[in-house]
C-alpha cells in the first residue's frame, strides 16, 4: 500500500450566528465537491460591522483532504 | 468623488460568556464614539483563569472605519 | 517579598461542541495537577472533519501559572 | 438565502513593467477559468535580475472568489 | 530639550490607479488632522476585483508622527 | 508572447523513510494530474509517533506550476 | 456592572540612555493625554548610530488603557 | 467518555548524521519519561560547524502527548 | 557517548528594576528545580503601568536545559 | 560540475518616484560591486513623509547572487 | 579579553541528493573565504521540479562566524 | 545628486553586563571596518546560562549603512 498524500485548500465560511457556524458552513459547502476531508485549521477570523454590531462572521480555513490513489 | 480612506484601531473586548460576546462588547463600546465602522479582524484571543475555569474572555480586534471627507 | 515568576505550558483541549468548550476542557484537565493558573492565550484553532462536519474542535493554549516561592 | 462561502487560491503574476501590471496579468489569466473573483491580497513581491536590472516582476497573490450555491 | 516621542496609527488608502497613489491618498487625508507625520510602513497590499481586473488598490500603512511637548 | 502566470497549491506528502521521500511522494502523486510543476517550498515538517519513534513523516509543500495560455 | 473594554495604541519612546528609559519616556508623554493605561508590550527595538555608537534608542510599544463607561 | 486533552513540550534532538536522526534521538530520549506521545512538529533546524562542515544537527520539536484521565 | 538532547520551557520573570533583572529573576527561580540550564531566548517583553510609569517588567523566556542520560 | 551555491544580502533602495524605481536603484548600485545577481525579494516597503506626501520611497530587498567556483 | 562579536550571512546551498547535502555544499563553499564559522540555522527549504521529481534541493541558511579582534 | 542606497548586515554583540552593552559592543566592532552606519534593529535577544545566572547576553542586530556613490 502506498503512502497517503493530502491536498490543502483555503475557504472562507460566513455566518450571522457564530464562529463555529461559519466553519460548519464552509465545510458543508466544500463537502458538495470534495470528498475525504479530514482536518482544518482556522487561519483568520474577521467580520463586517453594521450598526455597531457584528453583521457576519468571516472565518478562513485551511482544509485537508486525502487524494485517492 | 474622491477615493475612500479608512483608519484602523485596536481594542480588547471582554466577556464572561464567549468569544463572540467579547467581540460584540468591544464593538458596542467603540460605537459610542466612532461612526462608520465597517470591518474587524481578531488578532488575539486570551483570557484569565479562576478556579481552573475561564473567568473572562479577552479578544483583541483591529477595527476599520471610513474617514469622512 | 520577592518578584513573582510564572511558568507557561501548552495544552490542546478538544470538544465536539465549541471552541469555548474545548478551552474549558483543557483548563479543567490541567487544573487537576497545576495550581495557580492565571491566564491563557489561544495559539491555534483546528479540528477534524467527519461527513463534512466538524467532528471535534482542537484548540491549542498557552497557559500561565505562578511559581510559589 | 444561505450564507456565502468563498474559496481562496494563490497565483503568481509576472510582468516586465511593474508590480501593478504583474497583478493584472495574474487576474486576467485566472479570469479565464474562475468566475466571481472578489478580492486579492499580495503575499510576496519578487523578481529576477538581468544585467543589474529587474527583468521581470513576480507577484504572488491570494485571490478570493465566491462559490455559487 | 526632552527626548522625542512618536505615535503610530494605521490607515488604509485606496486608489483605482496604483499602489503608490493609494499611499498618497491615505497620507493626504491623514494630513488634514495630523501634523508632523514623518514616516510610514506598508503592512498590507490588497484590492477588490471587478470583471477580472483590479478595481481598487487598498494599501494599509502604519504612519508615525511626533508628539509635540 | 504573453507574460507567464503560475498557480500555487499546497499538498502534504508522507513517508516512513525520510523528509526527502515524503516530498517526492507528494510530487509523484501531484504529477498524475498537474503538468508543468516547476518549484516547491517546504512550509511545515511534522510526523506522527508510535512506540517513541517517528512512524510517518508528514511534509507540507507549496508547489508552483505554470498555467498554459 | 458591564464588561471592561480596552483600547490599544502604538508609540515610540526614545532615549540616549537605555531601552528601559525609552519605554518610560513614551509612557510619561502618553500619560499627559491618556488615563488608565494598564499594560504595554515592546514590539520593536531600534536605534540610530553616530560615530559607531548608539545615539538614541527607539522602542516601539503597544499600550493598553481602559475605556470608561 | 470525556474529551481527550493533550499537552505539548519542546525538545532539541541532535545528531552527527541527519535531521531525521536528530528527531529520532529526541523522541527516544523523551520516551523514557513520557508516555502516549502522538505527534511532533519541527520548529527549528540548526547545527554547529567544525572545519567548514556540519558537526551536529540540532532540531527543535514540539511534541504532543495525551493526558490520561 | 550518546547524542545530547535538550528540553525547552517558557517562564516569565518580573522585576521593578529592568529587563535584565526580570530575566535573572526567572532564571534564579527556575534554577531551584531545573539543573543544567544552558541558554535562553527572550520571546516577549511586556510590563504593567501604574501612574504613567512602568510598575513591573514582565519578560518571557524560552530556556533550554540538557537531559541527563 | 559542482552544485551551485548562492549568497544573499539585504539592501535598501530609495526613490522619489515609485516603489519600482527604488528597487531598480538598489540593483543598479549593487551591480557596481556584485556580479551574477539572479533574483530579489521585497521584504519591506517604507517611506518618509514631507508636507503630507511621500518624500522618498524606501524599499528593502533580499538579493541573491551565485558564487563562482 | 574583550567580548566576542559575531557576524551572520545568508547562503543557499543546493544538491540533487538531500537537504543535508545542500547544507554541506553551502558550508563547503563558504569555508573557502570565511573562517571561524560556528553555527547555522535553516531558514528556507525549497527545490525545483523536473518530470514530477525534485531536481535540486535549495536550502537557505543563516551562518554565524566570529569576528577576530 | 543620486538616490541614496543602503546595505544591511546582521551581527551578534555579546556582553556580561546588559543588553545595551551587547549592542554597543557589536557596533564598536563593526565600526572598525564599516563606515556610515546609520541605524540598527534588534532582531533577537538571547544568552547563555551559568550557575542559574545569565553568563553572557547575545543580541542580534540588523545594521544599516549607506553606500557611497
Dump pLDDT digits (tens) for C10-46.
999 999 999 999 999 999 999 999 999 999 999 999 9
Confidence label for A1 from pLDDT (cuts 50, 70 and 90): low
3-state secondary structure (DSSP) of residue A68: coil
Residues of L with CB under 8 A from a CB of K: 9-16, 22, 25-26, 29-30, 56, 60
Residue E8 sits at φ, ψ, to 5 deg, of -115, 145
Q: Does the distance separating the beta carbons of J4 and K9 come in below 8 Å?
A: no
Q: Does the distance separating the beta carbons of G13 and E5 come in below 8 Å?
A: yes
Query: Is the predicted pLDDT of residue L69 greater than 80, yes or no?
Result: no
Confidence label for L68 from pLDDT (cuts 50, 70 and 90): confident
Q: Does the distance separating the beta carbons of D15 and F6 come in below 8 Å?
A: no
> Among F47, C63, A50, G61, which Cα is nearest to I57's?
G61
CB pairs under 8 A between F and H: 37
Contacts of B60 in chain C (CB under 8 A): none
| Distance separating alpha carbons of residues J64 and J36, to the nearest angstrom | 9
Nearest CA in chain I to H62: I8
Query: Is the predicted pLDDT of residue K1 greater than 90, yes or no?
Result: no
Nearest CA in chain B to G67: B29
For residue F2, the model assigns a pLDDT of 85
For residue D3, give how far its alpha carbon lies from the nearest alpha carbon of chain F (Å).
26
Instruction: Say what percent of chain B tops pLDDT 90.
Output: 94
The number of helix segments (H) and strand segments (E) in chain L equals 1, 3
Average pLDDT over residues I62-68: 95
DSSP H helical ranges for C1-69: 19-30
For residue H1, the model assigns a pLDDT of 55
Query: Is the predicted pLDDT of residue G36 greater than 60, yes or no?
Result: yes
Residue where the block lists cell 487576474: D27
Predicted confidence (pLDDT) per residue in E2-26, tens digit: 899 999 999 999 999 999 999 999 9
Average pLDDT over residues J49-63: 98
Q: Where are the beta strands (DSSP E) in chain C?
A: 5-15, 37-50, 53-66
DSSP H helical ranges for chain K: 19-30
Nearest CA in chain B to E26: B5
3-state secondary structure (DSSP) of residue I3: coil
For C45, half-sphere exposure in the C-beta direction (CA atoms, 13 angstrom radius) is 24
**What's the CATH number for G6-66?**
3.30.1660.10
Between B3, B7, B62, which is nearest E11 by CB? Answer: B7
Residues 6+ apart with CB under 8 A from G12: E5, E6, E7, E8, E64, G26, G58, G59, G60, G61
For residue I21, the model assigns a pLDDT of 98
Nearest CA in chain I to G41: I46
Between A9, A14, A16, which is nearest D5 by CB? Answer: A14
For residue J2, the model assigns a pLDDT of 85
As given in the structure block, the three cell numbers for residue J23 are 528597487
H or E segment to which residue D24 belongs: helix D19-30
For residue D55, the model assigns a pLDDT of 98
Average pLDDT over residues I34-47: 98
Q: Where are the beta strands (DSSP E) in chain H?
A: 5-15, 37-50, 53-66
For residue L8, give how far its alpha carbon lies from the nearest alpha carbon of chain J (Å).
5
Instruction: Say what percent of chain H tops pLDDT 70.
Output: 97
For residue K58, give how far its alpha carbon lies from the nearest alpha carbon of chain H (Å).
15
Residues 6+ apart with CB under 8 A from H49: H55, K27, K37, K38, K39, K40, K63
HEC per residue, chain F: CCCCEEEEEEEEEEECCCHHHHHHHHHHHHCCCCCCEEEEEEEEEEEEEECCEEEEEEEEEEEEEECCC
Between F24, F30, F41, which is nearest K54 by CB? Answer: F24
CB pairs under 8 A between B and C: 37
Q: Does the distance separating the beta carbons of L53 and I39 come in below 8 Å?
A: no
For residue K69, the model assigns a pLDDT of 67
Instruction: Say what percent of chain G tops pLDDT 70.
Output: 97
Average pLDDT over residues F49-55: 97
Confidence label for G69 from pLDDT (cuts 50, 70 and 90): low
Average pLDDT over residues I44-63: 98
Residues of L with CB under 8 A from a CB of J: 2-9, 62, 64, 67
Q: Chains contacting F with at least 3 CB pairs below 8 Å?
A: A, D, H, K
Q: Chains contacting L with at least 3 CB pairs below 8 Å?
A: G, I, J, K
Q: Does the distance separating the beta carbons of L11 and K3 come in below 8 Å?
A: no
For residue K68, the model assigns a pLDDT of 80
Average pLDDT over residues H30-51: 97
Query: Is the predicted pLDDT of residue G48 greater than 60, yes or no?
Result: yes
Average pLDDT over residues G55-61: 98
Query: Which of C6, C11, C35, C37 to mutate to probe the B interface, most B CBs <10 Å?
Result: C37
Residue ranges for chain D with pLDDT beneath 70: 1, 69
For residue B51, give how far its alpha carbon lies from the nearest alpha carbon of chain E (Å).
38
Average pLDDT over residues H21-43: 97
CA distances from C2 to A6, C69, G23, I25 (A): 53, 8, 23, 9
Confidence label for H68 from pLDDT (cuts 50, 70 and 90): confident
For residue I56, the model assigns a pLDDT of 98
Average pLDDT over residues G39-46: 98
For residue A3, the model assigns a pLDDT of 95
Residues of K with CB under 8 A from a CB of L: 2-9, 62, 64, 67
Q: Does the distance separating the beta carbons of L15 and K5 come in below 8 Å?
A: no
L and B touch with 3+ CB pairs <8 Å, answer: no
Q: Chains contacting H with at least 3 CB pairs below 8 Å?
A: C, F, I, K
Residues of K with CB under 8 A from a CB of H: 18-20, 23-24, 27-28, 30-31, 37-42, 63
3-state secondary structure (DSSP) of residue E55: strand
For residue D19, give how far its alpha carbon lies from the nearest alpha carbon of chain A (Å).
25
Q: Is residue C65 a contact partner of residue C35, using CB atoms and an 8 Å limit?
A: yes
Right CATH for A6-64 from 3.30.1660.10, 3.40.50.620, 3.40.605.10, 3.40.720.10: 3.30.1660.10
Contacts of I44 in chain G (CB under 8 A): 41
Contacts of K48 in chain J (CB under 8 A): none
For residue E1, the model assigns a pLDDT of 56
Instruction: Say what percent of chain A tops pLDDT 70.
Output: 97
Q: What would you measure as the largest C-alpha separation in chain D, in angstroms?
A: 57
Instruction: Say what percent of chain C tops pLDDT 70.
Output: 97
For residue K46, give how far its alpha carbon lies from the nearest alpha carbon of chain F (Å).
4
Nearest CA in chain I to L45: I42
Domain K6-62 in CATH 1.10.10.10? The answer is no
Domain L5-67 in CATH 2.40.50.220? The answer is no
Between L2, L3, L5, which is nearest J11 by CB? Answer: L5
For residue K53, the model assigns a pLDDT of 98
Average pLDDT over residues E42-69: 96
Average pLDDT over residues A30-59: 97
Q: Does the distance separating the beta carbons of J29 and L5 come in below 8 Å?
A: yes
Exposure string for C28-62, b = 16+ CB within 10 A, e = fewer: ebbbeeeeebebbbbeebbbebeeeebebbbbbbb
Confidence label for F68 from pLDDT (cuts 50, 70 and 90): confident
Q: Does the distance separating the beta carbons of L39 and G49 come in below 8 Å?
A: yes
For residue G1, the model assigns a pLDDT of 55
Query: Is the predicted pLDDT of residue K44 greater than 70, yes or no?
Result: yes
Instruction: State the average pLDDT for chain B.
Output: 96
Between A5, A9, A62, which is nearest F14 by CB? Answer: A5
As given in the structure block, the three cell numbers for residue B39 are 470591518
Average pLDDT over residues K9-29: 98
Average pLDDT over residues L52-65: 98
Query: Is the predicted pLDDT of residue C69 greater than 80, yes or no?
Result: no
As given in the structure block, the three cell numbers for residue F50 are 508510535
Amino acid at each position: 500500500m502506498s503512502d497517503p498524500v493530502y491536498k490543502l485548500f483555503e475557504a472562507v465560511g460566513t455566518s450571522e450566528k457564530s464562529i463555529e457556524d461559519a466553519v460548519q458552513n464552509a465545510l458543508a459547502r466544500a463537502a458538495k465537491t470534495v470528498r475525504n476531508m479530514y482536518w482544518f485549521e482556522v487561519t483568520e477570523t474577521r467580520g463586517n460591522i453594521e450598526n455597531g454590531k457584528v453583521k457576519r462572521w468571516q472565518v478562513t480555513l485551511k482544509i485537508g483532504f486525502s487524494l485517492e490513489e
